[in-house]
């Protein structure tokens, strides 16, 4: 009787395993991932980079992807996220930016069998049951150190057209920790280039990530105050920063994406004034997260910070960079990057 019971049990297990497998010749169901944006595509920067990551995951990993744009009205974000979480079919739901943190902390515990990813910020794991959430942070201070060093060194190359003035600038979208982390690294890099951050680095906040007119106004004022290069840390507002550089014949450093490559085909006049961009590789990080998820290797319930070593940040080295950047500046950037990797340079951060 005991042997017969064991045999029956084994047959039941085998049947369950068999029925759980896809029919012969049929692939297992593809992973489904939804990216929910608290904004819209077309910012030429942060959200567009996220879109590229989703497209790469679809193309290279076979992930079924969907992108939902909730617009810029914060009053709609929580309800929008809750609606997607409750009514859409997905394996992984992805959101980004600090503005979505509390909403995700409220939603994720309601769906313990689902997985969530948040980028550019971390949930507070001590305050929420978020064991199903993976948080992606970026060491934007490291990439911005390189941008500040680069700007400070390029400022001294007076043979470059439009490299007039004695200052560099940075325009932030909002006065918030993640933006101030960019600025901390930028100032430290400028100091390494021989500038006085308190005197030679102009800093101003636009108050929004989707106001190009304000970005242009601030940037033109910085050029009048003696800045030759302005660093865009303002998302969609930064389009105005880049337009100001083109209109005034000065220079800009882009952000998040390689903004020279984005603009060169349709708006070459703007592209020509972008010396480089501080890459915050949201695309790489989302592709990486979905690849790890497919492999069962995501550290759910934890946050990871991606810096230069992990390919999370860096400087764009496109044809415009190569056209204008002297060999000694390239060598200095290369050495600084090695020193950051080795730990010889400790980049300041607002996050403790």
Domain 32-138+284-306 listed as CATH 3.40.50.720: no
CATH superfamily of 140-280+317-342: Response regulator (3.40.50.2300)
CB atoms within 10 A of CB 123: 21
* Per-residue pLDDT at 2: 43
- In tens, the pLDDT along 188-203 reads 999 999 999 999 999 9
d(CA 186, CA 336): 13
| Average pLDDT across the chain, whole number | 93
Asked if domains 32-138+284-306 and 140-280+317-342 share a fold, the reply is yes
Model confidence band, residue 27 (pLDDT cutoffs 50, 70, 90): low
Tell me which of 21-25, 142-146, 291-295 is least confident: 21-25
DSSP secondary structure code for residue 59 in this structure: I
* Per-residue pLDDT at 19: 38
Over 60: is that where the pLDDT of 339 sits?
yes
Q: What is the dihedral of CA 224, 230, 234, 235, to 10 degrees?
A: 120
Proportion of the chain above pLDDT 90, given as a percent: 90
The residues with which 202 forms a beta bridge, in sequence order, are 169
Q: Where are the domains of the chain?
A: 32-138+284-306, 140-280+317-342
- In tens, the pLDDT along 102-144 reads 999 999 999 999 999 999 999 999 999 999 999 999 999 999 9
Model confidence band, residue 14 (pLDDT cutoffs 50, 70, 90): very low
Dihedral class, residue 283 (left if φ above 0, else alpha if ψ from -120 to 50, else beta): alpha
- In tens, the pLDDT along 58-71 reads 999 999 999 999 99
* Per-residue pLDDT at 220: 99
């Amino acid at each position: 009787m005991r042997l017969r019971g064991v045999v029956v049990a084994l047959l039941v297990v085998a049947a369950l395993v068999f029925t759980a497998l896809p029919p012969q010749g049929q692939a297992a169901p593809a992973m489904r991932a939804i990216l929910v944006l608290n904004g819209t595509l077309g910012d030429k920067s942060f959200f567009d980079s996220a879109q590229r990551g989703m497209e790469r995951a679809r193309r290279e990993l076979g992930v079924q992807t969907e992108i939902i744009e909730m617009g810029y009205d914060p009053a709609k974000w929580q309800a929008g996220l809750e609606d997607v979480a409750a009514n859409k079919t997905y394996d992984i739901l992805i959101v980004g930016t600090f503005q979505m943190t509390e909403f995700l902390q409220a939603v994720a515990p309601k769906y313990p069998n689902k997985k969530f990813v948040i980028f550019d910020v971390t949930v507070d794991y001590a305050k929420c049951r978020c064991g199903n959430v993976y948080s992606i942070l970026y060491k934007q201070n490291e990439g911005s150190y390189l941008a500040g060093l680069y700007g400070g060194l390029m400022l001294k190359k007076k043979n470059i057209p439009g490299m007039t003035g004695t200052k560099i600038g940075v325009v932030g979208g909002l006065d918030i920790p993640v933006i101030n982390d960019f600025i901390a690294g930028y100032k430290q890099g400028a100091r390494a280039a021989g500038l006085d951050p308190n005197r030679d680095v102009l800093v101003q906040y636009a108050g929004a990530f989707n106001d190009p007119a304000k970005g242009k106004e601030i940037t033109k004022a910085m050029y009048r105050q003696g800045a030759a290069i302005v660093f865009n840390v303002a998302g969609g507002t930064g389009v105005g920063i880049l337009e100001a550089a083109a209109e005034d014949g000065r220079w800009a450093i882009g952000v998040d994406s390689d903004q020279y490559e984005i603009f060169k085909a349709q708006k070459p006049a703007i592209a020509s004034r972008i010396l480089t961009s501080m890459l915050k590789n949201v695309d790489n990080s989302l592709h990486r997260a979905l690849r790890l998820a497919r492999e069962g290797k995501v550290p759910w319930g934890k946050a990871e910070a991606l810096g230069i070593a992990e390919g999370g940040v860096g400087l764009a080295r496109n044809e415009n960079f190569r056209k204008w950047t002297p060999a000694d500046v390239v060598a200095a950037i290369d050495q600084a990057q090695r020193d950051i990797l080795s730990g010889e340079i400790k980049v300041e951060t607002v996050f403790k």
